[in-house]
Chain A
Amino acid sequence: MIVAERKLFDDLYAKASKHKKVLLLGCGTCVTVCMAGGEKEVDILDSQLKLASRERGDDFEVTTHTIVRQCDDEFFDEETSRKIAAADAVITLACGVGVQFCSEKYPEKRVYAGVNTVFYGATVEQGLWEERCAGCGECIVDQFAGICPVARCAKSLMNGPCGGSSNGKCEVDKETDCAWALIVKRMKELGTLEELSEITLPKDWSTSRDGGPRRIVHESLRLDEGTKKEG
């Protein structure tokens, strides 16, 4: 999933207090799971804005709404559109995709990002999320016993650990596992360590962000011009 973290309260307050009527728009998918921008977090921000505006003597109205997904046209239903129309500005707690999608759908509305989108990751344990994928466009994890050096090595090294691997941890952050320590351990267990003596040649980054913004087309799924839903 996409993992995000709520922006600092003061930033959000500064944005909200510029308007008379603000809608907090939550997203029910990834940011709900990582507890950054679901219904619960929308409610907390709502309470916080109300308390702060009282403390600071500002006067603006806050309303809330959460939809299943902000990266999908389908979930911006009539009720949502009505609520957005009724507000002067929207703070969306969806990931960067949702923020943009919402802006595209309501071009006349001021839309603010309520969270910082951080990475594609997993819930490693309750309350702890870690990065696992960098979306490079050409998956190579199977060469490395299922551990991605692109996403999980601080230097994206593809031919083994750097000199900074220490006791299984990365020199950049003592809390972070050295991806290469994990790869070596797993390949040793699988008895495939010698496979690492093959040189991994320079990676083709054209499939990654470096190749420009990417798009995927499934012709078989696309609707004919006439049957497309009206925006």
Chain B
Amino acid sequence: MKTKSNIERLLEKGEFVVTSECGPPRGSDAEAVRKKGNLLKGVVDGVNVTDNQTSVVRMSSLSSCIILKEMGFDPIWQLVCRDRNRIAIQSDILGAAALGINNLLCLSGDHQSFGDNPKAKNVYDIDSIQLIYTAKTLRDEGKFLGGDEVKGAPMLFIGAAENPFADPFEIRALRLGKKVKAGAEFIQTQCIYNVEKFSKWMEEVRERGLHEKCAILAGVTPLKSAGMAKYMKKNVPGMDVPDSLIERLSAVPKENQAEEGIKICVEMIQQLKEIEGVRGVHIMAIEWEEKVAEIVKAAGLSPRPSA
């Protein structure tokens, strides 16, 4: 155990870890962050705080992390390469560590063309794997990318995301290996709807021995309706929603589809839990945080071990 991270500690103890996510508000109201936080209090082991997700401007990820930290959470700070060069990235990592942030999730970031500022210039000075490498170099070598010595290394538990369903499929496990090699200690996956394909990916992951080198937290997102399922299948790149799921939701009357979606999510978690190498789940209930407690409970993952 290197850091003060709650999830690192639990993973080391062999606990099945549960994380969730909290998207910062589109304004400066700290209360909005606390409100979401309250819905997750005592429900999960760690909360991801997204960094201007889908390139839509929101309250800074790090600031939101601090608000949650003050509430007693151990936030997982998401950091994207889209908006910062290596100078800002290294500086922010030091700052986050100084403020008591223990977990860093390294991401490339959605392209700005999807957000509310499509005219923005993107940075991409470094990519997500180089970001992992940067965080690890700062922490373990005590060195900046430029080679100078860091006075007070930032002790962050380093994670990354992976989409097992994006193309080209044959590079996915190899690329995960690269992330692990660069220094990723935990992986949160893109939301899984196709368990069969995910299992195939996990097989490859195990073949490469990667499940022993990093903790894989399987991502899930409850579906609110058949419409949402169809939308995600059609419009979200790299999202694999099997028709059988859409059919199952469509077969239920509209007013009961949300309930069915929760049921599917719970079943999914139970299936994923049985796959060798899956060390936890990451529940992304997008603007539906109030359901996380119910899902965790129904999946038999409640109560969470104390922090």
Which residues of A are interface residues toward B (Cβ below 8 A)?
A: 154-168, 171-172, 178, 180-181, 184-185, 188, 193-194, 196-197, 199-203, 205
Contacts and interface: CB of A to CB of B under 8 A. Distances in A.
Contacts of A158: 127, 129-130
For chain B, the bracket of interface size reads 35 or more
Interface in B90-142: 108-111, 113-114, 122, 124-130, 133-134
Interface in B163-212: 163, 166-168, 170-171, 174-175, 177-178, 181-182, 190
19 contacts: A155-B108, A155-B122, A156-B127, A157-B124, A159-B128, A159-B129, A160-B174, A160-B175, A162-B108, A163-B190, A164-B166, A166-B167, A171-B114, A193-B170, A193-B171, A194-B174, A199-B133, A200-B129, A202-B125
Contacts, number: 109
Interface of B: 81-82, 86, 108-111, 113-114, 122, 124-130, 133-134, 145, 161-163, 166-168, 170-171, 174-175, 177-178, 181-182, 190, 237-238
Contacts of A165: 166-168, 237-238
B121 to A, nearest CB: 12
B124 A184 contact: no
A202 B134 contact: yes
B163 A160 contact: no
A172 B111 contact: yes
Nearest to B182: A199
A193 B167 contact: no
Contacts of A202: 86, 125-126, 130, 133-134, 145
A167 B167 contact: yes
Interface centre among B175, B190, B237 (most CB of A within 10 A): B237
